[in-house]
A and B are shown apart, each in its own frame.
Chain A
Amino acid sequence: MLVKHGIAVSPGVAIGQSMVLGAESFRIPQRFVSVSAVDAEINRFRISLQAVCTEIEENERVARERLGNQYAAIFTAHLMMVQDHRIVDEIELLVRQKCFSPEFAVSRVFRQYAKKFQNLGVPYLAERATDIFDLEKRVLRQLLGERREELRNIQAPVLILAHNLTPSETASLDKAYVLGFATEVGGTTSHTAILAGALELPAVVGVGNFLSDVAGADTVIIDGSHGAVIIDPDAETLARYRAVEQEHRNFSNRLEAIRTLPSVTLDGVGISLYGNIEFPHEAASARQRGGEGIGLYRTEFLYLDASAEPTEEDHYRSYCEVLKAFPDRPVVIRTLDLGADKLPIGFRMEYPEGVNPALSLRSIRLSLQHLDLFRTQLRAIARAACHGDLRIMFPLISTLLELRQAKMILGDVLEDLEEQGIAYRRDIPVGMMMEVPSAAIMAEQFAREVEFFSIGTNDLIQYTLASDRGDPRIANLYRAGDPAIIRLIQIVVKAGQSRGIPVSVCGQMSSDPLFVPLLVGLGLRQLSVTPHLIPEIKELIRKLTISKAENLANRVLRMETANDVESFLRGEHRKLSPESPA
């Protein structure tokens, strides 16, 4: 048994067989074979190995002819490795003595060597682990033949373990077969993490190197609530987690019952709960969970998934699909929030050396310099707005001038539509994200020029505390509970109240049950959260009273450190929801 710790990004427990992506991107269907089949299995292994050797010899021949002996030597070495009697003997021994399936034995033994190489402390040898993974893949491919299952067509439930998953890979995971996942890299607000929440799969990211510790088909537990990945658990641990898994299921069932109840506090104040979504189809899931609209539709996934730049029609269709789930409820569309970390293909730019991408050309700044891109999206939003209560939200606004410029371009676009006689909505509500400290400080002034604010806590924390959200080394600084963040939220809420415009929070902070009573106490009456958390947040709201929440907020406002704030809120949360598994 081996326990690895990472960052918990999507709660729940998943128990199952591992599928290790990258080195071996297919599933090992069975781990054991019957005693009577051992000889046949060993024979099957030898035939596969022979086929791999023939394959490598062919590579060697081609390399020698085309590139010369020097390059062919790599394949000569591969051939020696795959025939290495130490490896072959060990694999056959595992099959014969432990009845391992050849696939499982191959994965185990090759990975043990890869691990050994990685641990020698010599960079050249550590890199040779890649050669070993390559050989493992070759042998498995032969062994599995037509039976091999790749990521796209997995046929049995697995836990995905990978170095990293791209947003589109994460999105393409089939929920029927993928029980959860863990990655070596990534942080709380990485896009993979956000998608895991959207897919409602237990997930742990930022685990560090662990893939060579696990073989394909090993039993693995992913504890997405506590950020643990347990490889090859012992019987006691397994039993404990089976119980936790059951508890989670009961908890979810209870939340299901709350779905149709209104989101009001004990003293009758309504707190509107909206969903944050990345894909149009999630709108239906937000509605099904009791969401009252969409508080944040992150449109950049339109760009990331497409191989070409999306057309006005692509935008229009996606927005109409979201409106289908909420024909009469607010749907807030955030315009392009592309940044250095999420640029589409063909759009990647080089930042000049010495320039910090997070502080450079991203989000609304990028839109204002690529007007074609921006206009295309604004036209689609204005047209789709005919079919429901669509609203526009500009991200990363830092100054009033920037906001006015964005609004001016919107005005131009509407004028064009008018001239072209295309149906659109003239009085489409315009709001902005509050995620740059300069804007939060100037909230009073901004409140005169927009119709709503939405506080984006992820970037607000990053910029206020000058801490990259992706860097685990400074995770102690990147904290929603920091008193500076709470004060900035207070400023924005007060500005909204004094001008009578609605304020919501759509960052990760509002999806964290810990912070919900505080946000309500600070005066927020709208929260936009990950759809699957809507029932849990609603249950919490239904236990609050405004006066209690305000008292709690007043106490928090007197605290000086994030540690004090968070430990106080944890204590309060336990009192409110003693049975919550999180």
Chain B
Amino acid sequence: MSQMIHRRNVIVRTEHGLHLSPCSRVAQAALKFRSQVWLTKGSVRADAKSVLDLMTLAAGPGAELTLEVTGDDAPEAVEAILHLFEYDLVSASS
């Protein structure tokens, strides 16, 4: 049974990249949704609901990630994560 994959590109804009606290904010956000949320950097794919997995992306500032979401609340999840990357994380790190 195939489900529609919502795919977007995001850029890491935090000063030090995806460190511990940005990772935990992403995971917190992702955990609010029923959908599966993945972030991919190159060949490494991380479960966005797992802070440990996110850290293994070793995403530095400026890194380009692909966001993939599947599930019934996928559109809302995509919007929330994008908003986090575009605004919340950036203002928090400055």
Contact = CB atoms under 8 A, between A and B. Distances in A.
Interface of A: 73-74, 76-77, 80-81, 84-87, 113, 116-117, 120-122, 124-125, 128, 131
Q: Nearest 4 CB-CB pairs, A to B?
A: A77-B24, A80-B24, A86-B50, A80-B51
10 contacts: A74-B21, A77-B51, A80-B28, A81-B24, A81-B51, A84-B51, A86-B52, A122-B58, A125-B58, A128-B55
A450 B50 CA distance: 72
Contact of B24 (A76, A85, A113, A117): A76
A374 to B, nearest CB: 52
Contact of B50 (A76, A85, A116): A85
B56 A117 contact: yes
B21 A84 contact: no
A125 B49 contact: no
A213 B18 CA distance: 26
A82 to B, nearest CB: 10
Contact of A77 (B16, B21, B47, B50): B21
B37 interface: no
Nearest to A73: B21
B23 A77 contact: yes
A120 to B, nearest CB: 5
A124 to B, nearest CB: 7
B11 to A, nearest CB: 18
B19 interface: yes
Contact of B20 (A86, A87, A116, A128): A128
Contacts of A125: 55, 58
Contacts of A80: 23-24, 27-28, 51
B64 interface: no
Contacts of B28: 80
Interface residues of B, number: 18
A76 B50 CA distance: 14
A77 B51 CA distance: 8
Interface in B51-73: 51-53, 55-56, 58, 60
B52 A76 contact: no
A73 B65 CA distance: 24
Given A86-B47, A120-B58, 20 more contacts: A73-B21, A74-B20, A76-B21, A77-B23, A77-B51, A80-B28, A81-B24, A81-B51, A81-B52, A84-B52, A84-B53, A85-B49, A85-B50, A86-B52, A86-B53, A87-B50, A116-B56, A117-B55, A128-B20, A128-B55
Listed residue (B19, B23, B24, B52) with the most chain A CB atoms within 10 angstroms of its CB: B52
A125 B49 CA distance: 18
B52 A131 contact: no
Nearest to B55: A125
Interface string B55-93: 110101000000000000000000000000000000000
Nearest to A88: B50
A125 B55 CA distance: 8
A108 to B, nearest CB: 14
Contacts of B47: 86
A131 B51 CA distance: 13
A109 to B, nearest CB: 10
A120 B19 CA distance: 13
Contacts of A122: 58, 60
B65 to A, nearest CB: 16
Given A77-B23, A80-B27, A120 B56 contact: yes
Interface string B16-55: 1001110110011000000000000000000101111101
Nearest to B51: A80
A121 B56 CA distance: 11
Given A80-B24, A117-B56, A124 B16 contact: yes
Contacts of B56: 116-117, 120
B94 to A, nearest CB: 13
A517 B24 CA distance: 65
B88 to A, nearest CB: 13
A80 B22 CA distance: 12
Given A122-B58, A125-B58, A77 B53 contact: no
B74 to A, nearest CB: 19
A86 B46 CA distance: 11
A131 B20 contact: yes
Contacts of A131: 20
Nearest to B46: A86
B84 to A, nearest CB: 14
Contact of B52 (A74, A87, A124): A87
A125 B58 CA distance: 7
A3 B60 CA distance: 34
A85 B47 CA distance: 10
A113 B49 CA distance: 16
A473 to B, nearest CB: 29
B21 to A, nearest CB: 5
A130 to B, nearest CB: 11
Contacts of B21: 73-74, 76-77
Nearest to A77: B24
A77 B22 CA distance: 9
B55 to A, nearest CB: 6
A547 B56 CA distance: 67
A407 B20 CA distance: 62
A120 B20 CA distance: 14
Given A120-B58, A124-B16, A125-B58, A113 B51 contact: no
A80 B49 CA distance: 9
A59 B26 CA distance: 22
Contact of A84 (B16, B19, B50, B58): B50
A311 B53 CA distance: 57
